[in-house]
Structures are given as structure tokens and as C-alpha cells.
Amino acid sequence: MKKLLSILIVALYFPSIFMRFITGESQLSVLIISMIVAFALACLNIIYAIIGIKRLRTDPKKQQTVNRTILIVKLALIPFFIANFSIWSMLSGMFLLTPGGIFVDIILVPIGIGFTYTILLATSSYSISLLFTLYKTSIISRRQFILHSIFQLFFGADIIDQFVIKKFTKSNVHH
């Protein structure tokens, strides 16, 4: 989990770090390749989070480790999400100013939203898996599971909610 999330973070920040060393049309190629790699890594993280539910059920210490790791990753991704939103907004606005640009935006905006949301789900899937484990072990109620799972689907709320989940995992260790 930690390695896969670390590689995801590197893939997301890679273009912004190395783009100044790349010139011309290569920049667009690097950006597209980085997006594809990040998207694939995000999907792998989602799958890994679902598969890892069984291991979480039996080990409260592992639950704390997962929560701590996800919290760090979510905090590390805040600059990415801010920059990502800014870049997609500028790109969309730029095309709106050109004749026929609305047609480009019809394709561009869903791609931007889908990419960004997939990255959000890469971390939130671990949180939801952890919440599911806490629900199945009767640490939290069904209502709490649903409510906190919904929070995990919104940027900002997911980070704040992760601190609440941390309290649940701490109480589970002492349970």
C-alpha cells in the first residue's frame, strides 16, 4: 500500500518538477503519459484497497497504520489538487475564448473531472475500506459508515473526516 501510494504521488508531481527541463511538443507528451500512469496507479490503489479489507479486519494495529498513511498521503496531495483545479480551469477557460472552443470543453471538462476524481478515490478507497472494517467489527454503526463514506467522496471533507476516522481506529486498538 505505502509503495503504491508513494509511486502515485511521484507520478502526480513528476510533470511539475521536470517540465522546465523539457521543451516543445515533448511537454504535452510527458503530461499525457504522466496522466495515464497516474490514472492507472490510482485504479490499482482502488483495487488494492478493496482486496486488503480482509487483512484490516483482523489487525487493529494495521488499521491505525493504514489510517496514518492515508492521512499523510491526503495532506501531501493538497497542493496537487489545488494546482490541478487551477490548470484544468485555465485550460477550459482558454478554449472557451476560441471559436468552437465550447466543443473542446465538452470533451476536456469531463476528462479533467474524471481524472481528478479518480485520484481522490485512490486515497478515499482505503478510508472507505477501513470504515467498512470498523462497521463489520461493530466499532461504528451503519449510519456512521454511510455518513463517513460520503464524506470521503468530497475533496476537503475527506481530509477532515480522516481525523475522525483516526479516533475510531484508536478506540479499536483499546477495544
For the cut 80, the answer to whether the pLDDT of residue 164 exceeds it is yes
Supply the pLDDT for residue 159: 94
Supply the pLDDT for residue 92: 84
- The 10s digit of each residue's pLDDT in 53-64 is 887 777 778 888
The whole domain housing 38 covers 2-173
Tell how many helices (H) and how many strands (E) occur in the chain. Answer: 8, 0
Number of domains, the chain: 1
Nearest to 70 by CA among 168, 166, 171: 166
Phi, psi angles (nearest 5°) of residue 141 = -80, 170
Supply the pLDDT for residue 175: 53
**Could you give the percent of the chain with pLDDT greater than 90?**
36
For the cut 70, the answer to whether the pLDDT of residue 173 exceeds it is no
Instruction: List the end-to-end C-alpha distance of the chain, in Å, as a whole number.
Output: 25
